[in-house]
Structure 1
Amino acid sequence: MSSTPRILIVEDDRAMRLSLIDLLEASEWCVEALPRAERLADRLEAFQPDVILSDVRMPGMSGLELLDSLDRDLSPPLVLISAHGDIAMAVDAMQRGAYSFVEKPYEPRRLLNILRHAADQHAMRRTTERLKSRLMQLSGLDRVLLGQTRETAALREEVLDLSQSGAAVMLQGETGTGKELVARALHDLGTDGTGPFLALNCAALSVEGFEAEMFGAEGGAKGRLQGADGGTLFLDEICSCPMPVQAKLLRVIEDKQVLPLGAGAAVPLAFRVISATNEDPEQAVREGRLRADLLYRLNTTVIALPTLRQRRDDVMLLAARFLDEFARVYETRVPDLGPEDSAALLAHDWPGNVRELRSVCERRVLSARRGGGSMAQALHRDSLADDVPDTLRAAVAAFERELIAKAITAHEGKMEAVAEALGIGRRTLNEKIVKLGLDKEALL
C-alpha cells in the first residue's frame, strides 16, 4: 500500500490494547483503539480503517457478534484475536466472514503480515469499486439504467461484470422492464461493442423462407444473420420462436456458421448471443414450446430484470427524467409534479413497468402543452383523445418530431442509422431536425 494503513483495534484488556498500539505504531500504522465493540459503529465512518482487529471475548458485544453486525460488502476486513481460541472457533469465525483468526500470545511478525494483507485486500477492493464507478460514468451505464435502488445498482453491476465475458446471456423479465436496453448495454460495453447489434423478434420469425432470409442465397443478398458477424445477435421473445426455427437457430449458434441456399461452402460467423424472454423458459421446455438443448445454449448466465414494483423508489426519479425528455421533444415546459401527482404515480402497480411509465409521462407532457392534465389522468389512456393538435399541420409536425426523436434515441445518435430506419435521406433528416427544432444532444 502506498499510503499509511489505518487500523481500528477493539480490545477490552488495557495492557493488551496498549501493546497492540505500540506494535502497530512502530510499524507505521495509523491506529485507533476502543475498549468495547459497541462503540465501533460510531467510529467506522469517521476513521475509515483499512482493517479491524478485535478480541473475541469481551463484555457486552463479543468479537463474533461484532463480525455478524458488519456489512460484508461495505466494511473493512475483520481479524479476530483470542486467548481462548480453538480449531472449532477459528473455523466458525472464517465461515462467518472473518478475514483471519490469531491466537494469543501472538507472534508479532505473523500478526503484522496478516493485517497488512487484509488492508491490501481492502484497498484493492476500493480501487476496483472506484474503477467500476468511473467506467459506469464514462460508458453512460448509470444514465441508461437509471435508478438509485439496490435492485437497479445490482443490475448495473451485473451488466458491467458480464459485458466483457462474451458468454451467452439470457435476460428474464416482465414486459417493459428494459430487456433490449440491457442487451444493448452488454453489447456496447463488451469487447465487440463497435460491431453490429442484430435484434431478432423470434415471435415474428416465419418457418417458410427462414433460411433464405436468414442465411441468404448464393449469388443473391446476404442473409440477415451475417449482419451479426463481429457483434451481437439478440434473440428477443425466444420462448415464442417456432419450433422448426429453433432447430435451425441452434445449429447456427453451435456451429457459428451459415450455409446460404445453393452455396457449396458455409460462411463462418463470430457473434455473441443474448436472448430475452418474459416467460419462465423451464416451463416453456416442459410444455414443449422451447427446445431444452437450445435453452442450455442460451442460459449460460441469466440476468433477472427487476420489475418497477420491486424498484418503486425509482419511480419519481424515472418520471422526472421522462418528463424532461418529452418536454424537450414537444418543445414545452416540464410539468410540475404536485403531491397528488406523486401519490398517483406511487400508488399505481405498473404492470407495464418502465415502458408504461414512459408512456404515461409522454401523455402528461402532451396534456401540459394544452394547458391542463394531471398524472392521474395520464394514467388513463382515454385522456389521450384530448391531446390531439388542433390543425393537420401541427399534428403532422408533432408526429414527425416524436418519430425522429425516438429514432435518434434508439440508434444512439448515429444519424446514418436513423435516416435508414426512417426511410429518408441524410440531408432530408438534417433539414427536418432543424425545421422541427430538435436538440439531438438533449435526446442522448
Structure 2
Amino acid sequence: MVDANPTYSLVIVDDDREMRDSLTHLFESVGWQCENYARAELFCEKVRDISPDVILSDVRMPGMDGLALLDYMQTKEDTAPVVLISAHGDIPMAVDAMQKGAYSFLEKPFDPRRLLTVARHAAEQHRMGQDTERLKARLAMLSGLDRILIGQTDEIKILREDVLDYADLDAPAMILGETGTGKEVVARALHDLSVRAKGPFTVLNCATILAEKFESSMFGEIGQVKGMLAASDGGTLFLDEVAACPLAIQAKLLRVIETREFTPIGGDKPVPVDIRIVSASNEDMEAAVAQGRFRSDLLYRLNTLMLNLPTLRERRSDIVMLFSHFLNEYSTVYEISTPELSADDVSALMTHEWPGNVRELRHVAERRILAARRGRGNVGEAIHSNHDVEEVPDTLREAVAAFERELVAKAIRTHKGKMDAVAESLGIGRRTLNEKIVKLGLDKNALL
C-alpha cells in the first residue's frame, strides 16, 4: 500500500556494490525512487538530465571522492543537498564537509532510521527551496502586472492570473470588455510576458479602416504595401474592435489562422507567417454572429482563450487605489505635490458611475492635477467639469462613436421611440439604425 507522503528521488554514489544495493532496498522500501552510480564521474556526466531531491555519496572512492563531488555540485544552480557517508570519518572531515556545504555527514555503520530521517528532511528542504524560487519568480511577474492591472478585488486578481497563464500559450485570445476597461493594455501584457516579447506587437483597429482598404492593410500588396500580417511576423497581431472586420476578410483571416500563411494582393504564392492573434471587442460577439455580421467559425477560433475585463463599477473597492496611483503619476509629470484626498473627494469617486471606466478615471485624475497646479479644484469638479475641459476620446473612431451615440439617442427621445421616424430623421435605413443601436450599446427603453 502506497502511503500519502510525497515521492522523493535519491541518487546513490558508492563504489561498494553491496552498499549500493542495501541503500537502494532501504529507500525503495519506503517509496523513494533511486538511481545508483559506482563512480562520481559517471553521475557528473548525467547530472544535467537528473534532478534528484537528495544525493547520498560515500566519501572515500577511487577517482573523484565524495568531497570533490560536493565541491562540483556547489557550482551547479538549484543543486540537490548532498549527504555524505563514510566508514573512515572523523570530526575534522565532518567539519570540512559541512563547511563546504554538505547537508549532513553520517559515519558507518549508521542507523537506517536516522539516515531515512536525515534524507527526508534534506528532500523537504530542497522541495521547499524550489517552491520558494518559483513563487519569487511568479511574484516578480505579478508585481510587473500590478503596475499595469492595478487592484485587489477578486475580479482583477483573477484577471492577472489568467494573463499570466495565457501568456505562455500561443493560442488565439479574445478580450471582451466595455470601452475604457483596458483591452489593449491586457493584449500588450499577454505579448510582453510571452516568448514573443522580443517580436513586434502590432495593432490593427478594425473599426477605423475603410472596407475597401482593409484587405491591403491586413495582407499587404506586392510591391506597394506591407500588410499587418507581415509586420507582425514573429510577434503578436492585436485586432481591436474585431467585430468591425468586413465579412469578406473574415474568411481569409480564418484561413490564416488555420494554415499560418497568407497571400498578399497580387501575389501567387502563400507566405508563411508566425504570429499570435489577440482580438478585442466591446460588443456581444454572439449577437454579432446572430445578426450575420460575424462568422461563427472565425469567432470560435479567435476565442480559444477568453478574457472578460471587469468594469470599474464591478470593482468599486479598487477605485480609490487606482485614482491615487494616477494622481501620483500625473503629479510627477506636472511636477507638483500630490493633493490629499478629502472625504468629499472619496465620496465623489465612489458615487460616480464611471461609464468610461479606467480611461475616464485616468482623465479625471489628470484634470484634478491640472486644477491643483492653479491652487484650486476638487475631485467632484474634475468629474463634472464643463464641456470645454470634458474628457476627449483618445481616437477619432471613439469621437465619432460618441457623437453618433448622442445623436441617435436624441432622435429616439425626440420621436418617442418610433423607429421609422428616427431612421428617417437621421437619413438612414431602418436596418442600419438597428445595427447602430446594437453597436453603440444604446438601450432604447432606458432612453424613453
Deviation at 1:243, TM superposition (A): 1.8
Deviation at 1:181, TM superposition (A): 0.3
Report the AA paired with residue 356 of structure 1: E
* Residues in 2 aligned to 1:117 and 1:157: alpha-carbon distance in whole angstroms: 29
Greater C-alpha radius of gyration: 2
Corresponding residue number in structure 2 for 1:338: 342
Corresponding residue number in structure 1 for 2:182: 178
Most deviating of 264-273 and 117-126: 117-126
* Residues in 2 aligned to 1:346 and 1:171: alpha-carbon distance in whole angstroms: 26
Deviation at 1:231, TM superposition (A): 0.2
Corresponding residue number in structure 1 for 2:303: 299
Q: Conserved in 2, the CA contact under 8 Å of 1:367 and 1:386?
A: no
Deviation per CA, 1:82-120: give whole Å up to 9, x if none.
xxxxxxxxxxxxxxxxxxxxxxxxxxxxxx9xxx99999
Most deviating of 203-212 and 310-319: 203-212
Corresponding residue number in structure 2 for 1:370: 374
Taking a change above 3 Å as real, the CA distance of residues 202 and 209 of structure 1, as seen in their structure-2 partners, is closer
Most deviating of 342-351 and 119-128: 119-128
Taking a change above 3 Å as real, the CA distance of residues 216 and 385 of structure 1, as seen in their structure-2 partners, is closer
* Residues in 2 aligned to 1:282 and 1:316: alpha-carbon distance in whole angstroms: 34
Corresponding residue number in structure 2 for 1:241: 245
Deviation per CA, 1:8-34: give whole Å up to 9, x if none.
xxxxxxxxxxxxxxxxxxx9xxxxxxx
* 1:4-153 equivalence runs, <5 A: 128-137=134-143, 140-153=144-157
Query: Out of 323, 327, 331, which is 2:327 matched to?
Result: 323
Q: Conserved in 1, the CA contact under 8 Å of 2:163 and 2:189?
A: yes
* Residues in 2 aligned to 1:192 and 1:386: alpha-carbon distance in whole angstroms: 39
Q: Conserved in 1, the CA contact under 8 Å of 2:216 and 2:225?
A: no
Q: Conserved in 2, the CA contact under 8 Å of 1:207 and 1:244?
A: no
Corresponding residue number in structure 2 for 1:275: 279
Q: Conserved in 1, the CA contact under 8 Å of 2:204 and 2:228?
A: no
Deviation per CA, 1:371-420: give whole Å up to 9, x if none.
11110011113075499xxxxxxxxxxxxxx9xxxxxxxxxxxxxxxxxx
Taking a change above 3 Å as real, the CA distance of residues 262 and 166 of structure 1, as seen in their structure-2 partners, is same
* Residues in 2 aligned to 1:205 and 1:252: alpha-carbon distance in whole angstroms: 20
Report the AA paired with residue 202 of structure 1: C
Corresponding residue number in structure 1 for 2:203: 199
Deviation at 1:128, TM superposition (A): 4.3
Report the AA paired with residue 363 of structure 2: S
Q: Conserved in 2, the CA contact under 8 Å of 1:164 and 1:190?
A: yes
2:168 is the alignment partner of 1:164: yes
Deviation at 1:225, TM superposition (A): 2.0
Deviation at 1:322, TM superposition (A): 0.7
**Alignment identity in percent?**
50
TM-score, reference length from structure 1: 0.57
Q: Aligned with 1:275: secondary structure? A: strand
Deviation per CA, 1:230-269: give whole Å up to 9, x if none.
0001111112222222223222222222212222322211
* Residues in 2 aligned to 1:271 and 1:321: alpha-carbon distance in whole angstroms: 34
2:359 is the alignment partner of 1:359: no
* 1:206-225 equivalence runs, <5 A: 206-225=210-229
Q: Which runs of 5+ in 2 are unaligned?
A: 1-5, 7-29, 31-116, 395-448
Q: Conserved in 1, the CA contact under 8 Å of 2:215 and 2:249?
A: no
Q: Aligned with 1:351: secondary structure? A: coil
* Residues in 1 aligned to 2:178 and 2:390: alpha-carbon distance in whole angstroms: 30
* Residues in 2 aligned to 1:295 and 1:121: alpha-carbon distance in whole angstroms: 43
Corresponding residue number in structure 2 for 1:19: none
Q: Aligned with 2:163: secondary structure? A: helix
Q: Aligned with 2:147: secondary structure? A: helix
* Residues in 2 aligned to 1:243 and 1:117: alpha-carbon distance in whole angstroms: 59
Q: Aligned with 1:344: secondary structure? A: helix
Deviation at 1:182, TM superposition (A): 0.4
Q: Aligned with 1:203: secondary structure? A: coil
Taking a change above 3 Å as real, the CA distance of residues 292 and 336 of structure 1, as seen in their structure-2 partners, is same
Report the AA paired with residue 216 of structure 2: A
* Aligned alpha-carbon RMSD (Å): 3.2
Q: Which runs of 5+ in 1 are unaligned?
A: 6-26, 28-111, 388-401, 403-444
Deviation per CA, 1:182-224: give whole Å up to 9, x if none.
0000000001011001111111232213333332222333223
Deviation at 1:359, TM superposition (A): 0.8
Taking a change above 3 Å as real, the CA distance of residues 265 and 383 of structure 1, as seen in their structure-2 partners, is closer
